[in-house]
């Protein structure tokens, strides 16, 4: 027996349009929520990166400044300070267990340095080291050109040394570590570190400011001490910035993180 449909009506055009409008509204709301969440996630990632860079920068600065003055011979300043805004600092200290006396007086300033019987394996080619004359308590930095470990002889650039050093003068591996802000790329300034004569390297990205305040032994706080040997504490402040701007912040589109540390100079 053939079944007769009571109604053969389909979906009207108005019903289709209503369904499409409702679907569009729901889809737009979901897409907007996704965009908002994705934007918030990107900003949070940028802030976390800024915090990590800033903390790494303040930790390394604190560690290096705390070493200032360690093992230095008489007459050699342990700090170089520059109130350049952002500031620049050079911390100077001796590398642990890396020194050797010369056992033969140099006949002339261009002569090789003979440390016969001593271990010179801690020195390396192209390394900046310091030679100290204990009789006059003077010295100078120079760069090694060749280290002969077996013979314990060291060569150098013949145009560097200012005099022929006597027997008993000491060769010392002394680190000069310089920190400064590089604004070559104004959108992405970086905290740079330079060791001796080697090329500077990026230590922390998107660091926009570096400031130092020096407390002297009389308790006075200054931006640039006249006598660096009078410094007893260094206050360090760094400011990091997110790598990307936040489009929701019109007046100041970047987010910042500040960190400070007070470092007592225990080797002064």
pLDDT (tens digit per residue) in 18-41: 778 888 888 777 777 766 666 666
∠ at Cα 190 (245, 174), nearest 5°?
165
Segment 90-99 mean pLDDT: 92
Q: Is the pLDDT of residue 10 over 70?
A: no
Given this model, what pLDDT does residue 57 score?
96
Reported as a single tens digit per residue, the pLDDT across 246-266 is 767 667 788 899 999 999 999
Given this model, what pLDDT does residue 72 score?
95
pTM over 0.85: no
């Amino acid at each position: 027996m053939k079944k007769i449909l009571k109604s053969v009506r389909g979906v009207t055009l108005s019903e289709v349009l209503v369904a499409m409008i409702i679907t569009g509204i729901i889809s737009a709301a979901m897409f907007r929520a996704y965009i908002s969440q994705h934007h918030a996630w990107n900003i949070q990632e940028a802030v976390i990166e800024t915090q990590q860079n800033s903390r790494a920068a303040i930790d390394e600065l604190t560690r290096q400044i705390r070493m200032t003055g360690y093992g230095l011979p008489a007459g050699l300043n342990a700090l170089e300070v520059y109130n350049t805004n952002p500031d620049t600092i050079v911390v100077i200290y001796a590398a642990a267990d890396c020194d050797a006396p010369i056992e033969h007086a140099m006949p002339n300033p261009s002569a090789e340095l003979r440390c016969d019987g001593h271990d010179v394996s801690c020195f390396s080619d192209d390394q900046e080291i310091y030679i100290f004359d204990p009789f006059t308590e003077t010295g100078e930095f120079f760069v090694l050109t060749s280290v002969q470990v077996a013979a314990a002889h060291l060569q150098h650039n013949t145009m560097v040394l200012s005099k022929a050093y006597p027997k008993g003068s000491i060769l010392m591996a002394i680190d000069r570590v310089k920190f400064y802000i590089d604004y070559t790329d104004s959108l992405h300034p970086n905290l740079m570190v330079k060791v001796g004569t080697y090329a500077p390297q990026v230590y922390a990205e998107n660091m926009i400011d570096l400031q130092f305040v020096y407390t002297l032994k009389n308790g006075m706080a200054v931006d640039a001490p006249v006598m660096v040997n009078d410094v007893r504490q260094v206050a360090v402040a760094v400011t990091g910035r997110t790598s990307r701007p936040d489009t929701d912040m019109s007046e100041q589109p970047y987010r910042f993180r500040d960190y400070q540390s007070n470092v007592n100079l225990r080797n002064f």
